[in-house]
Amino acid sequence: MTIAIKEWPAENIWESGPDSLSLWCHSTAYIEAIARHEGENHRLLSLEDDGEVIGLVTVADRRFRDSVDLYTPYGCQAAFSAGFEPACLDAIKAYSLAKGYTTAYLLIRPMVKGPFEWNAEISEASRYWLVPLLSAGENRVLLKKNVRNASGKRFTDQVRIIVGDSLDTKTTESLFGIYDAMVRDRDASATYFFSQETFAALLCRPNCRIGLAPLDGPIEAFAVFGQGRNTVEYGIAARRGAKPDYSAAIIWSAMLQAISEGKSLMCLGGGISPGDSLDWFKSRFGGLSVPQLCAKMVFDHDKFNRLSGEAGNEARFFPPYFAKRNCC
């Protein structure tokens, strides 16, 4: 596998970026934020195999004295649609060396379980849920079992799945209203902020699927699913109130839709913290608990050792001299 890397400036990413942005929809709130962040060189990298985008990484330059370090901003991670191959990390390393970076720090969401045998310090940062859709026969049984309630009614009868570029303006505005109200109600706008323009640009893409419920009457709940080469990524989800809760029905419906389109994996993400209610909810769909990884790479060891020595014992930072930065 030969991987090529292409740079996309964060500014105006929705007008100029790759279609595969919807694969990465859970974290793209940060694209809007980092595009306005002065003093940092933020951009999106697409990793391409024979012209097809297989991974997206948001990166930025951090500078301290004479060092320049590559990092993935907080809340972002590298998302890969075809499994994270060693060739992907090799390409990022080659890119970093060509840019003259001292270090690189990456949060990686691989679509495989490992093992990971790369020449870098790899550790587990958190965990997320990955659901096999086609490879595991027991998952098909699980799907059939769970799409009906105790009385035999199909949950999925209340859900429709539509393609993003078929959304009309009125529906998009309605979905944004539900999303915006939920974010404000949960006081989460500092983290999950989208302008209405960015929200619409994200959803109205051909490789985006939106689950809507119920079938009749006003929309009460929706979820966004970005599609990659073999995978589907569960992203933004919002609803008007606590009852009825269509969240599970939308996910089951999206799984059935993904199977019909030949996809093999669905990434549900994880909880805010291990074992919390969101993590428990995502564990219900027959998935595997998979590690999200943290990769730490040092390219200029002399500079790294000198600056780290000046910083003292700051193991909570990578590189340690980031502790000396006012922004940290």
Number of helices (H) and strands (E) in the chain: give both, helices first.
Answer: 9, 13
Q: What is the pLDDT along the chain (328 residues), one digit of tens a residue?
A: 678 898 887 666 666 666 666 555 445 555 565 555 544 577 788 888 887 777 778 788 888 888 899 888 655 566 665 556 677 888 888 999 999 999 998 887 766 545 555 556 777 777 888 888 865 444 555 555 555 554 455 666 788 999 988 999 999 999 999 998 888 887 766 566 677 887 887 788 888 899 999 888 889 999 999 887 777 888 888 898 767 788 888 998 898 888 888 888 888 888 777 778 888 989 888 888 887 778 889 999 999 999 888 877 666 788 888 876 644 4
Token look-up 């051909």 returns 206
Token look-up 């969240």 returns 247
| Beta-carbon count within 10 A of 4 CB | 12
* ∠ Cα 31 186 60 (to 5°): 20
Cα 183 to Cα 22, 47, 53, 192, 212, distances in angstroms: 20, 31, 31, 7, 18
Cα 220 to Cα 170, 230, 241, 244, 281, distances in angstroms: 15, 29, 8, 9, 19
In this structure, are strands 288-298 and 121-132 parallel, antiparallel, or unpaired? antiparallel
Residues contacting 200, CB < 8 A, separation 6+: 172, 176
Q: According to the model, what pLDDT value does residue 328 have?
A: 40
CA–CA separation, 232 and 215 (whole Å): 23
Cα 315 to Cα 249, 289, 299, 310, 323, distances in angstroms: 43, 27, 18, 13, 9
Q: According to the model, what pLDDT value does residue 122 have?
A: 74
Return the exposure string of 36-56: e unless at least 16 CB atoms fall within 10 Å of the residue's CB, then b: eeeeeebbbbbbbbeeebbbb
Amino acid at position 54, single letter: I
Residue 312 three-state SS: coil
User: 3-state SS of 91-125?
Assistant: HHHHHHHHHCCCEEEEEEECCCCCCCCCCCEEEEE
Helix axes 137-146, 247-260, angle to 10 degrees: 140
- The token pair that represents 236 in the structure block: 């933004």
Q: According to the model, what pLDDT value does residue 57 have?
A: 80
| Residues β-bridged to residue 268 | none
Quick one: CA dihedral 123, 118, 101, 34, positive or negative?
Answer: negative
H or E segment and range at residue 86: helix 86-99
Residue 151 three-state SS: coil
Q: According to the model, what pLDDT value does residue 327 have?
A: 43
Query: For the chain, where are the E strands, in sequence order?
Result: 3-9, 41-49, 52-64, 67-71, 78-80, 103-109, 121-132, 160-163, 208-213, 221-227, 231-239, 265-269, 288-298
pTM for the model stands at 0.79
| Spatial CA neighbour of 271 closest among 262, 260, 282, 261 | 282
Contact 2, 87 (CB under 8 A): yes
List domains and CATH numbers for the chain. Answer: 3-127+291-324 (3.40.630), 131-289 (3.40.630.30)
Q: According to the model, what pLDDT value does residue 33 have?
A: 57
